[in-house]
Structure 1
Amino acid sequence: MNIENESPLVSINILSWNSKDKLGYVLNRVEKLSYKNIEIIVVDNDSIDGSPEMVEKEFPKVKLCRLKKNIGIAGWNEGFKIARGDYILVLDHDSFPDKNAIQWCIEKFKNNPKLGLAAFKIVNYYDNSIRQSEEYERYVNKETSVVGSFVKRFVGGGAFIRKKVVNITGGYSNPNIS
């Protein structure tokens, strides 16, 4: 699909491991997003708690990628491989995205053709603190931590990425990305 389209396809790439209850909640929440032209991908890191079976039974439209072993966050790359969207929303199994997050990102990306990735602030569910990747403070330009800023690290489970950036970079190359 052409990214100039009013409603480009967005692939939602969710990584999961032994998180049946949280994953079910996230999938229900994703289905209620205001943006509807989506495909949902769950990459399961060899769960033994019934997570994959729950996805197959309760969410038949979800593409399930079952890994034979837990490869950690490198599992997102498996989701990238099967994603068909012009953009990819990367989530953890316990992410609760704002209902308008995709629409907001698409507008920003359309208005900024050089924008390749937007990393979200990750809010702790329990205390509303902002989660930051290790040494985040060192890399972020605090005055312009929006379009035009460059960071070497970000919280990988909350990102919106232009698919062509994934194609160029090959995805998450460092398995230690947090």
Structure 2
Amino acid sequence: MSPFLNQIKPWVSVICISYNHASYVQQALQSVVDQDYPNVELIVIDNGSIDRSAEFITRFTERHSAIRFIQNPVNVGLNRAFNQGLALAEGRYVIDLSADDVLLPGRLSKQVAQFEKLAGPYAVVFSNAAYIDRSGREVGLHYVVDASGHARLPVPSGNVFKPILESYFICTPTMMMRRDVLNELGGYDESLAYEDFDFWVRSARLYHYAYLDEILTQKRLTPDSFSARIVYTNTTLLHSTLAVCYKAFERCVTPDEFRALAGRVRRFIRKAFYVEQFDLALEFGDLLYHIEQPDWQSKLILGLSKLHLPVNKLYRRYLKWSPVLHSAKLD
């Protein structure tokens, strides 16, 4: 990649990670190839799939020889696989694309244009997204829109460190990230089971985020998706969340930031209790005591955690009929 050309039309590195995505990976890759932005490098990593994903990727790369394809013999974890791609990436900007998601036409052009207009320490441009099911049918939007297609409620931009602690508001696959920021942070933390909350905490303390008010990505929701695992007793996601909450605790400065983190920790005390990871609930409680005195609800859940009550089946049954769709998210 010529440094001169990179100044005129910055290169974008799309790192696509596939694990048992045979049904979707070709559509994901085609959505990158079909972008109208000229300077794109596509790096595809099959992370030890046991279905036909690698076969379909190989066929695709035979038609598009510029694609770089890494085939891991075993699953090395999402974060390590992404870092493999990041080590090869040369673009100014990076997109982390799951092989079951889809980039909508014009996404790269619009996000690069937004980045190039920004002044100041911006590390991420993110957007709205449409949720699709396994068949590709749209089932909802990340941000509800008005008649003109714009988000009805304000979306945090600029310094988003406190909003990130307060709630899950960024649809992860919509992000375009600066590669130099990712490199500065050492890429994704490979000791964790997932990437986004940790990246947000570490980057948002130092840099700003910008929201582009358009639907530019389709995020696929499936019953076996990564985030859906948080409702089961064998989930490893909550252990990673506790580690990130401690990172956030070390980075909080203002009373409002500590209060925002406390609210998040209270929610994860409940989540750990619901999946019967009772010792972990108590560990979240220890962190809460470092921030503030727990409210009575949190004290009750912490007390019940010592009894090891079998609550998970009832919790999952509730989620099946509950209209509160965000209850199973990593928020």
How far did 1:28 drift? Answer: 1.4
Distance in structure 2 (CA, Å) of the matches to 1:91 and 1:120 = 14
Distance in structure 1 (CA, Å) of the matches to 2:155 and 2:6 = 27
How far did 1:155 drift? Answer: 4.3
Pair member with larger Rg: 2
- Can you give the 5+ residue segments of structure 1 that lack an aligned partner in the other structure? 133-141
Distance in structure 2 (CA, Å) of the matches to 1:5 and 1:85 = 11
1:160 corresponds to which residue? 176
Pair 1:108 & 2:108 matched? no
* 1:146 partner amino acid: S
Change (3 A) 1:163 1:48: same
Equivalent position SS for 1:90: strand
Does the 8 A contact of 2:25 with 2:56 survive in 1? no
1:62 corresponds to which residue? 67
Pair 1:27 & 2:43 matched? no
Aligned pairs (5 A) from 1:98-137? 98-113=104-119, 114-125=121-132, 126-131=137-142
1:41 corresponds to which residue? 43
Equivalent position SS for 1:40: strand
How far did 1:85 drift? Answer: 0.8
* Worse-superposed segment, 149-158 or 91-100: 149-158
Equivalent position SS for 2:175: strand
* 1:95 partner amino acid: D
Identity value in percent: 21
Equivalent position SS for 1:14: strand
Q: CA offsets, 1:39-89, max 9 Å, x none?
A: 101111101222223222322321112223213321212111111111111
Does the 8 A contact of 1:86 with 1:162 survive in 2? yes
The correspondence for 2:100, drawn from 72, 94, 116, is 94
1:145 corresponds to which residue? 156
Does the 8 A contact of 1:121 with 1:131 survive in 2? yes
1:176 corresponds to which residue? 194
1:15 corresponds to which residue? 17
TM-score, normalization: structure 1?
Answer: 0.81
* 2:8 partner amino acid: E
Distance in structure 2 (CA, Å) of the matches to 1:108 and 1:32 = 20
* Worse-superposed segment, 50-59 or 81-90: 50-59
Does the 8 A contact of 2:12 with 2:93 survive in 1? yes
* Worse-superposed segment, 160-169 or 96-105: 96-105
**Number of residue pairs matched?**
169
Q: Looking at both structures, which has the greater relative contact order when contacts are Cα pairs under 8 Å and sequence separation is at least 6?
A: 1
- Can you give the 5+ residue segments of structure 2 that lack an aligned partner in the other structure? 144-152, 197-331
How far did 1:34 drift? Answer: 1.0
Change (3 A) 1:170 1:155: farther
Q: CA offsets, 1:141-163, max 9 Å, x none?
A: x7452344333564443321111
